[in-house]
């Protein structure tokens, strides 16, 4: 811990907020970095009361804090990579540039999954789930908290991403999440016809769009987790094709996608011929964000 006076920190905050506005970033980000890297809380920041204290403990010294902030402003590094943490659902996940920063839309994917279990006779509370392309482990951990007796298989092709996901599972004491390194269903051979649900936030951005995303995303987030091939649907196509071999009858297929893809995803699911109750679900921004389907019950 490094100690700094409230006055000194207040000066830094003021300057940093001005720099944020000049760089077209929200000045609130200054407060987020301060909350992550110091003992000051939100109320203290909002009321300005921290400025009256003689001693404030920071996790890094003021020079380092400023260096991190410059990286935010100049290099557009996402704040979550600078602090190493991202709030998501009710936890604080560790993140690094090896994983996507988990998004608010994806928080909803877990709620959609919970609601989806009400429309199958399968006992999903105690079933085996797969989160394919788990990244930071966000979805797998969200499911594990929602279904504490279920087993969650978290798969990623990136070893570096899995290391982050494992760290998060340890931090949250989620010992029912199992980690597998490999491409989609490849490491789940033993679970053929045994899964009650597969969920995924796969890469779905068309390759040509990736460089046009905001610089935080295109310059700093892993393209492996974003780039879904020419039309963005390469991975979703694989998930549609492979899942029926792994799902139990009545199993859930739930995938995140981007605006404009819903029609094509429904068509892929319909053409595959082994899904029922295909639905598109909107996110809180009113975007068609999730595709949900079930494998037939066999009744």
* 287 touches ligand GLN (CB under 6 A): no
- Min dist CB 226 to ligand GLN, Å, is 4
Nearer to ligand GLN, 50 or 290 (CB): 290
Of residues 21 through 50, those in contact with ligand GLN by CB under 6 A are: none
* 157 touches ligand GLN (CB under 6 A): no
Distance between CA atoms of residues 57 and 63, nearest Å: 14
Query: Which range, of 20-28, 158-166, 172-180, 195-203, touches ligand GLN by CB under 6 A?
Result: 195-203
Query: Which range, of 78-86, 157-165, 202-210, 245-253, touches ligand GLN by CB under 6 A?
Result: 202-210
Q: What contacts 24+ positions apart, CB below 8 Å, involve 203-206?
A: 203/133, 203/227, 203/228, 203/232, 203/235, 204/228, 204/232, 204/233, 204/235, 204/236, 204/256, 204/257, 204/258, 204/261, 205/232, 205/258, 206/230, 206/231, 206/232
Residue in 114, 163, 217, 266 binding ligand GLN, rule: CB under 6 A = 217
CA 19-95-280 angle, 5° bins: 100
Per-residue interface string for the shown chain with ligand GLN, residues 229-268, x marking contact by CB under 6 A: ----------------------------------------
82-115 as b/e: b if 16+ CB within 10 A = bbebbebbebebbbbebbbbbeebbbbbbebbee
- Min dist CB 66 to ligand GLN, Å, is 28
Nearer to ligand GLN, 226 or 233 (CB): 226
In this structure, the dihedral spanned by the alpha carbons of residues 271, 109, 116 and 153, taken in order and rounded to 10 degrees, is 90
- Min dist CB 161 to ligand GLN, Å, is 13
> Smallest Cα–Cα separation from 128: which of 251, 245, 235, 241?
251
- Any idea how long the chain is? 299
Nearer to ligand GLN, 65 or 100 (CB): 100
CB 94 within 8 A of CB 37: no
Nearer to ligand GLN, 100 or 247 (CB): 100
Distance between CA atoms of residues 232 and 209, nearest Å: 9
Alpha carbon 288 to chain centroid distance? 18
* 103 touches ligand GLN (CB under 6 A): yes
Nearer to ligand GLN, 58 or 139 (CB): 139
Query: Which range, of 17-25, 151-159, 203-211, 244-252, touches ligand GLN by CB under 6 A?
Result: 203-211
- Min dist CB 40 to ligand GLN, Å, is 30
DSSP state of 36: H
Residue in 37, 132, 154, 205 binding ligand GLN, rule: CB under 6 A = 205
* 101 touches ligand GLN (CB under 6 A): no
* 204 touches ligand GLN (CB under 6 A): yes
Binding site for ligand GLN (CB under 6 A): 100, 103, 201-205, 213, 217, 226
């Amino acid at each position: 811990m490094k100690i700094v006076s409230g006055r000194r920190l207040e000066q830094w905050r003021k300057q940093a907020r001005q720099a944020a506005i000049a760089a077209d970033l929200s000045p609130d980000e200054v407060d987020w970095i301060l909350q992550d890297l110091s003992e000051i809380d939100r109320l203290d920041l909002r009321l300005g009361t921290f400025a009256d204290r003689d001693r404030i403990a920071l996790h890094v010294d003021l020079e380092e804090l400023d260096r991190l902030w410059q990286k935010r402003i100049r290099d557009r590094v996402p704040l979550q990579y600078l602090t190493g943490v991202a709030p998501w659902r009710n936890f604080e996940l560790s993140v690094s540039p090896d994983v996507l920063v988990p998004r608010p839309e994806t928080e909803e994917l877990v709620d959609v999954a919970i609601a989806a279990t009400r429309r199958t006779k399968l006992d999903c509370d105690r079933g085996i789930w797969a989160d394919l392309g788990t990244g930071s482990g966000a979805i797998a951990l969200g499911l594990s908290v929602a279904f504490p007796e279920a087993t969650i298989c978290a798969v990623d092709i990136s070893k570096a991403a899995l290391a982050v996901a494992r760290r998060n599972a340890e931090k949250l004491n989620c010992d029912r999440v199992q980690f597998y390194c490999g491409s989609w269903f490849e490491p789940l051979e033993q679970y053929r016809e045994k899964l009650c649900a597969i969920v995924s936030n796969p890469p779905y951005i068309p390759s040509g769009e990736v460089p046009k995303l905001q610089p935080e995303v295109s310059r700093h987030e892993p393209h492996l987790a974003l780039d879904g091939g020419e039309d963005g649907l390469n991975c979703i196509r694989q998930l549609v094709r492979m899942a029926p071999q792994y799902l139990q009858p009545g199993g859930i297929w739930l995938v995140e996608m981007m605006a404009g893809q819903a029609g094509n995803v429904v068509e892929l699911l319909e053409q595959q011929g082994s899904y029922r109750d295909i639905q598109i679900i909107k996110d809180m921004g009113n975007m068609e964000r999730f595709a949900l389907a079930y494998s037939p019950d066999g009744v």
